[in-house]
Amino acid sequence: MKEKRLKVDSIRIIILNIVILLSIVSCKKTNEKEDEFSISPNESFVEKFGNTNLTDSLKSRIHKGDTIAYDNLKEIYYLSGYKKEFFFYSYYMAKNFKYIDAYEDCFSNLKHTKNDNSDAVLNKTTEYFLLKAYEKNPKSLEYLVIEFYGEKENIPKSDSILVIK
């Protein structure tokens, strides 16, 4: 009888140890997952956006025409929720350095800024940046330009839409 009781007690201890071990392992995995995802990508970019040393350095390099700095700052602004505020840098790089991506970014930003068709200057400016980006890299926006103008023969030159000097 005593042997039978020892076996039952041993089995209980083993089962209890297994339950405790499973609880510890599952808690540890949960904590690891929480740590892994505790900072969302947007939060990390908001931190970068708040890092004035980093952003000032990138802005300074943009003023010299550095396209890598432009792309890095764009990523920080866009993923931090400041896409509209980035327009200045897009315009600067497009106007001063003829950077293709900057033309596309200007178009995208203006396209999503306007709410209706009542502002003729804004509409023409948006159209200008679309055409300028298309002229620099026809393949990238061809579908959009053709959708906007219909056929390729109807696509005007950007200079005929708006002259920016």
Do 28 and 61 fall into the same domain? no
CB 91 within 8 A of CB 129: no
Q: Report how far residue 164's alpha carbon sits from residue 81's, in angstroms, rounded to the nearest whole number.
A: 28
Element (H, E) at 140: helix 138-149
CA dihedral sign of residues 60, 66, 69, 74: positive
How many domains in the chain?
Answer: 3
Round to whole Å and give the CA distance between 103 and 67: 13
Q: Indicate if 130 and 150 belong to the same structural domain.
A: yes
- Residues 53, 14 share a domain: no
Is the pTM value of this prediction over 0.85? no
Verify that 29 and 50 share a domain, yes or no.
Answer: no
The range of the structural domain enclosing residue 152 comes to 83-165
Q: Average pLDDT for residues 100-127, to the nearest whole number?
A: 82
Residue-wise pLDDT tens digits, 80-104: 888 888 999 999 999 999 999 999 9
Residues 73 and 32 in one domain: no
DSSP letter assigned to residue 150: S
Indicate whether 43 and 33 sit together in one domain. Answer: no
The pLDDT tens digits for 43-62 are 767 677 767 788 899 999 99
pLDDT at 14 (0 to 100): 63
